[in-house]
Amino acid sequence: VSYNLDHSIKRRQISENIANLAERGTGLFCLQEVRTPKNGEEFIGDSILKNLGEGWLGQFFLGTRSNNDYGLGFIWNTKALELVEFHNLSFPLLPKLTLLDRFIESFLSGDTRPVKRGGMVATFKAGTKVFRVSNMHLDWQGKFKQRFKQFQYLFEYLQASPALNEIIIGDVNTLGFFGNAAQIKKIQVLLGPDFINFFPQ
């Protein structure tokens, strides 16, 4: 399951949603917008793992410069999945934000610098099957040209060491206000026919 936590604000609801999905059989969660705690609150990753109980582990990729940087996580059921290896990637950074983007970012986070985006790439083993999962969050700033550059960076990293079973998941910002079907098609062309889009609309 890919889950954007919306800045980790509704902490109790997030933990309950994940626990409910786990009860229904989800063994791996790919999280975006995982934020460091404020005002002495418990880290959202720890809250989720505590609520899930024994047999669950997590890895997180958080920024140190800004609370908005990176903010990714994997949480998995160790009874179903064995972690083989994982890597954190830093994507190409926008040189600067436009005036409008600075205004929006100031309203959302109080920080007007470009956000550091990235990906987490993890290889898991389920029984005898090995598969690799890439969890990412791409820029909404910089238009599609910036998002495609970041996606291409991830894809070239994966192509340098191809995996037989590959899953790419996360918040690509190609839907709603920032995206459209043409953007999704361009990403599909880059990936090639071996990749199936499970969210075409």
User: Is it the case that residue 64 has pLDDT exceeding 90?
Assistant: no
Q: Which of 173, 176, 169, 174 is nearest to 154 (CA)?
A: 169
**Of the listed ranges 53-57, 63-67, 117-121, the one predicted with least confidence:** 63-67
Q: Cα(27)–Cα(24) distance, rounded to whole angstroms?
A: 9
pTM recorded for the entire structure? 0.93
| 102 vs 186, more confident | 186
